[in-house]
Amino acid sequence: MKRAFYGFYLRIRALLRSMRQVNKIHLMDDIIYNGKKCFVNNGVSAPVWNLCEKEWNEDGTRNTYRVHEREIKKVKSFWNLENDLFHIYRWYMKYWYEIDLRKACGKLK
């Protein structure tokens, strides 16, 4: 029973942490760059982001850009809102939730 309660606490904490990051840029956000629709492909060197155009070229490739965040505009859409609200939450649940739960339950016994 303690495991269930602590698991609920960890989920709520991750959701709140994720909600605090709403206005930031996340992977797969829709972006406008120079009038072209793009999405964020990589953010390892933020505030410089790697963008991919949404449209495919005729040869099956996409144009990519390495752009500072001052030069891009985030699209206001349902997809971006959902991605903003749950991006950190999904990441936490996938990689850290079980680790933190095991660590906490080991201390609770």
Flag whether pLDDT at 109 surpasses 70. Answer: no
Flag whether pLDDT at 108 surpasses 70. Answer: no
What average pLDDT does the chain have? 91
Rg of the chain over all Cα atoms, to the nearest angstrom: 18
Q: Give the domain ranges of the chain.
A: 2-108
User: Which two tokens mark 70?
Assistant: 């001052």
Flag whether pLDDT at 3 surpasses 90. Answer: no
Domain 2-108 falls in which CATH fold?
SH3 type barrels. (2.30.30)
User: Which two tokens mark 28?
Assistant: 């797969």
pLDDT tens for 7-48 read 999 999 999 999 998 889 999 999 999 999 999 999 888 899
* Structure confidence at residue 58 (pLDDT): 94
**C-alpha 95: how far from its chain's center?**
13
